[in-house]
């Protein structure tokens, strides 16, 4: 039996006035995938994401969520079942942090003690001070507000989470923290996450499935390593490659895949088991050795093996 994709976008065209925001787009996202939609501004990535919770209605084609055509579902109920975090955060300025986080549970009719417990859990999950619950959003820093926005999206424990450039408006350090937080939450909860970003590095770092858009069409759709591989489409390689597509490609391949049966020389530097080929290359460059060992493995990782990734 083939697993049903949890999000299925089938031949969708979205027309705003006379321009097509999306043209005949088909995309399947499997349960538990972390899928990043990446592309230049105006490429249609936000529009594509908003099809999922029916903030955007297709002019042609069909959108199915958990196997159901979203056009047949009441929009508010559909949206309450899907988490949504956005770039401008969109916290309700007249409601406290706790009230903001508790919005969807309240709409779903949870009782007050259950909402309060859930808010407390989420403040802890997003590493926010529990005393912050009584504050109004204007008293928060940009990073805190983003965390609250993500907490609000997670409040009713939805199996699908939509994130529209959720790290867009914060400084680089906070951004890195929030990315790590998101990766951790994905690993811990196994939710299906759809992330819109214009930052290719972010897409490659976080996602297990990357979709590249240009002018309302999908240019590429696959695992991160496949999209920067030497045989990938030039536009995609250029967008995702960051000027050194070869190195970025190696950074997405596990060093374990290049293990050689020959043992590592005595005293050779050791790689961690989850190191990438780029990590191996970096250590080789520093050590000047020809081969490296790997923790818990008998064989070695050799320069010719790393550079032979293509073969």
Partner 1 sequence: MKRFRRGVPALLLALGLAVLAMPEVAAWLMGGTQGPYPAARLLDLALDHAALSLAGVLPAGLLGLVLGVVVTRPGGRGLRPAADAAAAVAQAVPPIVVVALAVPAFGFGWAPTILALMLYGIMPVLRATVGALEAVPPETRLAAEAVGLSPRQVLQEVELALAWPLVLDGLRVALVLAVATTAVGALAGAATLGTPIVIGLQNQNQVLVLQGAAATAALAFLADALLLMAVPARD
86 binds partner 1 (CB under 8 A): yes
Options 37-45, 89-97, 118-126, 176-184: segment touching partner 1 (CB under 8 A): 89-97
Options 22-30, 56-64, 85-93, 232-240: segment touching partner 1 (CB under 8 A): 85-93
Report the distance separating Cα 279 and Cα 261, nearest Å.
20
77 binds partner 1 (CB under 8 A): yes
79 binds partner 1 (CB under 8 A): yes
88 binds partner 1 (CB under 8 A): yes
152 binds partner 1 (CB under 8 A): yes
CB of 301 to partner 1, least distance (A): 47
Residue 93 region, left (φ>0) first, then alpha (ψ -120 to 50), else beta? Answer: alpha
16 binds partner 1 (CB under 8 A): no
Kindly write down the DSSP assignment for every residue of 169-226, as one continuous string: TS-HHHHHHHHHHHHHHHHHH--EEEEEES-HHHHHHH-SEEEEEETTEEEEEE-HHH
Report the distance separating Cα 296 and Cα 63, nearest Å.
46
Q: Give the list of residues 6+ apart from residue 119 with CB closer than 8 angstroms, or none.
A: 98, 101, 102, 133, 151, 155
Which residue of 24, 32, 62, 78 would you call a contact of partner 1, by CB under 8 A? 78
Name residue, tokens 């027309």: 15
Q: Which is nearer to partner 1, 152 or 256 (CB)?
A: 152
How, if at all, do strands 60-65 and 7-16 pair?
antiparallel
Applying CB under 8 A, what is the total number of residues that bind partner 1? 23
Q: Which is nearer to partner 1, 100 or 251 (CB)?
A: 100
Nearest to residue 83, comparing CAs of 207, 184, 195, 199? Answer: 195
- Residues in 92-121 at the binding interface with partner 1, rule: CB under 8 A: 92-94, 103-104, 107
Residues that bind partner 1 (CB under 8 A): 53, 55, 75-81, 84, 86, 88-94, 103-104, 107, 152-153
């Amino acid at each position: 039996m083939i697993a049903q994709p949890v999000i299925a976008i089938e031949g969708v065209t979205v027309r705003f006035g006379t321009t097509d925001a999306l043209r005949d787009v088909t995309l399947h996202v499997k349960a538990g995938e972390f899928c990043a939609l990446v592309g230049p501004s105006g490429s249609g990535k936000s529009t594509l994401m908003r099809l999922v919770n029916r903030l955007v209605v297709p002019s042609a084609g069909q959108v199915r969520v958990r196997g159901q055509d979203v056009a047949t579902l009441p929009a508010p109920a559909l949206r309450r079942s899907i988490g949504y975090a956005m770039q401008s955060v969109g916290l309700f300025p007249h409601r406290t942090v706790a009230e903001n986080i508790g919005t969807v549970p309240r709409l779903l009719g949870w009782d007050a003690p259950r909402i309060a417990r859930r808010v407390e859990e989420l403040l802890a999950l997003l590493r926010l001070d529990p005393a912050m619950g009584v504050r109004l959003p204007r008293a928060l820093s940009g990073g805190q507000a983003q965390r609250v926005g993500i907490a609000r999206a997670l409040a009713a424990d939805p199996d699908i989470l939509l994130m529209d450039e959720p790290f867009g408006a914060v400084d680089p350090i906070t951004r890195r923290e929030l990315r790590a937080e998101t990766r951790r939450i994905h690993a811990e909860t196994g939710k299906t996450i759809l992330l819109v970003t214009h930052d290719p590095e972010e897409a490659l770092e976080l996602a297990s499935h990357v979709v590249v858009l240009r002018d309302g069409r999908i240019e590429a759709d696959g695992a991160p390593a496949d999209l920067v591989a030497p045989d990938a489409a030039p536009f995609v390689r250029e967008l995702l490659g960051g000027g050194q597509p070869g190195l970025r490609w190696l950074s997405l391949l596990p060093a374990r895949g290049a293990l050689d049966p020959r043992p590592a020389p005595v005293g050779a530097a050791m790689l961690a088991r989850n190191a990438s080929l780029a990590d191996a290359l970096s250590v080789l460059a520093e050590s000047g050795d020809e081969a490296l060992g790997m923790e818990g493995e008998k064989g070695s990782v050799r320069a010719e093996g790393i550079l032979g990734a293509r073969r």
